[in-house]
Amino acid sequence: MKSFIALSLFISTLILPSILNAQTSSTCPSSLQNSMNNYPLCSQSNIDCKVFLSNIISSCNSLGCNVYYFYVFDVTPKGANAPHYYGESCNVAIWVPASSSQNIGVVDSKNSQCIPAHSYINVDSLALVENIPLSGVSFDLYYSSDRYRSGFSYSPKDLGLGGWAPEILHHYDVTHKVIYYGYGGQRPIQAQNNGGNLLVTSNDARELYVFDSTGRHLQTKDALTGNLKYSFSYDSGGKLLSIQDQFAKTINIDRSVSGQIKIISAYNQTNTITLNSEELLVSLTNANNESYLVTYSQDGYLDSFTKPEGQKSTVSYDSHGYVTKDLGAGGDFVSLLRSYEEASKTQTVVSSTALGRQTTYKTTVTELGSNHSIEEAYGEIIDKINEEQGNDSSSGSQGVIYTSMKEQDPRYGWMAPYTKSSSYSIVNSNINLQAQTSKSFVNSILTTTTTLQNDPTRTYVTSYDTLNKVYTSTSPLNRKVISILNAQDQVSKIQVGSLAPINLSYDVEGRTKQIKQQNTQLDFEYDLRGNIKSMTNSLGQSVSYNYDNDNRVIQQINPDGSSVGFSYDKNGNITSITPSGKQAHQFSYNLMELASSYLPPSIQAQALGHETYEYNLDKQIIKLNKPDGNSLSYVYEDSSGLLTQISGANESLIMSYVANSKLVKTISNSNGIALSYSYLGKILKSVSTTGEITSNLNLNYNPDTSIAEIQVLVSDGVISSVMQNYDKDGLLVQSGSELLTRDDVGNITNVSLGKVTQSNSYDNLAQLVNTRHEIQGKDKRTMSFTYERDTLGRIVKKTEEEVWGQSSRWIKPRKRKVLSYDYDKQGRLTKVLEHGHALREYVYDANGNRIALKTHHQVIKAKYDEQDRLTQYGNTEYEYNANGELIAKSEKVISRFANFWGRFFPRLRTKVLRTEYSYNDFGELIKIVLPRGKVIEYVIDPQGRRIGKKVNGQLV
């Protein structure tokens, strides 16, 4: 062991500095070999040193650059168990890890997988990534453990934020040509030199990052417009001082108190960081006095992370800094076992949960990119190939194959490649979805053209005019959407086809001030912390909000003065909702931050409706304890973790799955009803119902995955088939014999089915203003509805007209009815008028329950309990069980009792008509007993759908 440590130190102190200072070129393999042989370590008899040119020569990842060569260095002590060191270089990029971990190299995080944990673990780097939210700031602070490994050239501690970084602040490693994102990701990329600064785009070419010559992040710009999004300032020691956005809103870093750092938002909310002696963040307290606590190993690896509510997760690492276990406060964990195969340069990681479910990840870094293989606990294997400048592909156990080819962006080259062509296919099927894309940048206009299925009539074109700041999207059928940006790159106008434009305005801080379309508008006001204070509609009705010190909504005040209250635990989980005029609905959580109980308001001082939830160590629910004392139990397959059974006191559901997948194959219930599913790849192909009621649904698809035909076979053996057709924009225009016509924004304007037709017309807000139905034939019949709307789009007037056509025998005159509607400040319907006369009026309580209906003849009142369940409506009373399910309805019917003398002296008689309801263990209505004894039963399928009805035991 001592010799191993000495060897590691020797290589890290002697070889590593020399290699990092080496200057390589396309002609330097021999000189590098000679220089390697001159190293003292390489002259020893027990050490082999090699340098050679890789088989693959790759162009670099920058615009207009020369071809770069990849060189590989091997420093190998002789002996079967000797540690191995190697490094790769692109131009001057040489990285020799100072350990024997046999690192696979840097993998673009966009191609990597994340292992679910208490934050997340990058499967390629086996780095723990954790984050802490900040009060008053739109980004989080992030920690990534790989930044603390031996030989790593970049330390987040240099930022002076305790080893954590804002997610929007990145670093460029100029030596190894890697961008390290603030949120924990990374990407190998050759930066473009621009006047002494270095430029790198995001993968999607939306952002442009500007670094100085040392890799320090100076600015983030919009890659399309060039406008500034963020700028970063530092002190002379490289510590972050401030972040300013495009609207001059500034986040300041205050280090005036020793051992403390204050992150002060643009709205003066303070987040306080406390440092340990190693200048690592050990606590962060937000503006609501809620603290996150962190501990570290002596190497800077995060050992434990405690949330404000006290849930503590602990992390273990191996000697190379790879995560081996992430243990939660509730006993849940993920353990990781890593191995490395030298011959194939493949890393294998086996992830195991607390219940022993294993997922296997394999990663191989090649000269062109990276290969990934994932074997899920349930058996599915997905293989992916990602090439930085070539082809990508993925294939899985279910026969799904995806392939794509990349091309250089016309502005940024290989820094921001786009997908030139792609296909999605399924073996043994006709599914083959294809897309071809090209980009051009001519005369300051960036144009993207995408053609589907190699059909030139299915071409979508999107263009951006950089001078006039205009986006235009055009569909194959020339349906257009035009968006205009303001000087700050915010959308100021949206024009959809022939509709009225949507106009947006902003305040000086870039916040939305108004959204307006014709006479409809929504205005926003903000409080001193930048939160939305109120929203006011075009009728002057406002909803306002109050917040806690961490900017969480604690009260919503409605236009009529009613309000809803919200409370949270220290982690931000909602713990209560208090409706207006009611008691609170309460929620609690376990150590895994999963909901553990729900307690609705008490009824007559009794705690009714209390539900609790239990989970296993893999965070899967295993029991739902219902208020009536019964429960639902959930059973999972041991190795796959797939749900196989849900059982109640009397009923159960049993599930099976397609081999090596999580696709449900069958579901059956205790009543003998079963559903069977088949698939094309992962697309549903058919559903069969067996048992008391039988049926079969079959779906046929077009190559582009749209449904071509729906076939239904019912129990009488009759097959019903409905063909589907689409326009070039992919919108449905025919379903069986039904034909649909659409306008320039896709609204349905005409529908025809045999002798029946329907025509629709819309206003320039795409709101339906008239619909007309006609039945052709001997006695033609027409029914039309005309709508008038207020500025909120609500119907305030409806005119109904009905006309019967002329026949040889009779003529039916025109019928016409005009209905008007009034609403209260909450948008609830309060009055219905017919030809100007009140027909019905509605009254509501503070929580929106309708408590009265007024007509010409009567007033019907309603009552509700504390849980807002209807208990009485007029002469009808309603009863509920402990679970809140309606179990009985009792209606008092008053009638005149008239015998012989009753004709002269009538008496009133009251009779109660009682209807009773029964439910299965899953809360589904299965039986109704009507007042006169008739019994109605429902046949329920395993998905909870009613598929049959029985009256007195007979299917009807």
Structure tokens at 765: 């807000």
Alpha-carbon distance values, 85 to 78, 366, 841 (Å): 12, 17, 83
Residues 316-335, buried b or exposed e (16+ Cβ, 10 A)? bbeeebbbebbbbbbebbbb
Distance CA 530, CA 455 (A): 49
Look at residue 50 in the predicted model and tell me its pLDDT.
42
Distance CA 356, CA 200 (A): 42
Averaged pLDDT, groups of 10, the chain, 956 residues long: 34 32 34 37 40 32 29 37 33 33 70 81 94 97 94 88 98 94 93 95 94 98 95 97 97 94 98 96 98 97 98 96 96 96 93 97 89 96 89 93 95 93 96 97 97 98 97 98 97 97 97 97 98 98 98 97 97 97 96 96 82 98 96 98 97 97 97 97 97 95 98 83 97 97 97 96 98 87 96 97 67 81 97 95 96 95 96 97 96 76 68 96 98 97 97 96
Find, among 666, 632, 630, 631, the residue nearest to 941 by Cα: 666
Look at residue 102 in the predicted model and tell me its pLDDT.
62
Distance CA 660, CA 679 (A): 13
Residues 400-413, buried b or exposed e (16+ Cβ, 10 A)? bbbbbbbebbbbbb
Distance CA 782, CA 779 (A): 10
Helix (H, G, I), strand (E, B), or coil: what is residue 584?
Answer: coil
Look at residue 74 in the predicted model and tell me its pLDDT.
39
Give kind and range of the element (H or E) at residue 225: none
Look at residue 726 in the predicted model and tell me its pLDDT.
98
Q: What value does the CA radius of gyration of the chain take, rounded to a whole number of Å? A: 34
Look at residue 288 in the predicted model and tell me its pLDDT.
98
Give kind and range of the element (H or E) at residue 50: strand 47-53
Give kind and range of the element (H or E) at residue 35: helix 29-37
Look at residue 28 in the predicted model and tell me its pLDDT.
32
Find, among 142, 196, 225, 188, the residue nearest to 414 by Cα: 188
Beta strands in 109-259 (DSSP E): 114-116, 120-122, 127-132, 141-144, 165-166, 171-173, 178-180, 186-188, 192-194, 197-201, 207-211, 217-222, 228-234, 240-245, 250-254
Q: Report residue 592 CA to chain centroid gap.
A: 21
**What type of residue sits at position 223?**
A
* Residue 39 phi, psi dihedral angles, 5° rounding: -65, 140
- Beta bridge partner(s), residue 260: 274
Structure tokens at 182: 């603030």
Instruction: Say which DSSP state 12 is in.
Output: I
3-state secondary structure 799-840: EEEEEECECCCCECCCEEEEEEEEECCCCCEEEEEECCEEEE
Distance CA 772, CA 770 (A): 7
Alpha-carbon distance values, 844 to 108, 564, 719, 851, 925 (Å): 57, 16, 49, 5, 29
Distance CA 833, CA 819 (A): 5
Distance CA 336, CA 365 (A): 20
Question: Cβ distance 646 to 652 under 8 Å?
Answer: yes
Alpha-carbon distance values, 945 to 363, 455, 665, 925 (Å): 44, 41, 18, 10
Look at residue 364 in the predicted model and tell me its pLDDT.
92
Distance CA 166, CA 180 (A): 12
Distance CA 865, CA 871 (A): 7
Q: In what order do the strands lie in the sheet with 47-53?
A: 47-53, 70-77, 85-90
Query: pTM for the complete prediction?
Result: 0.86
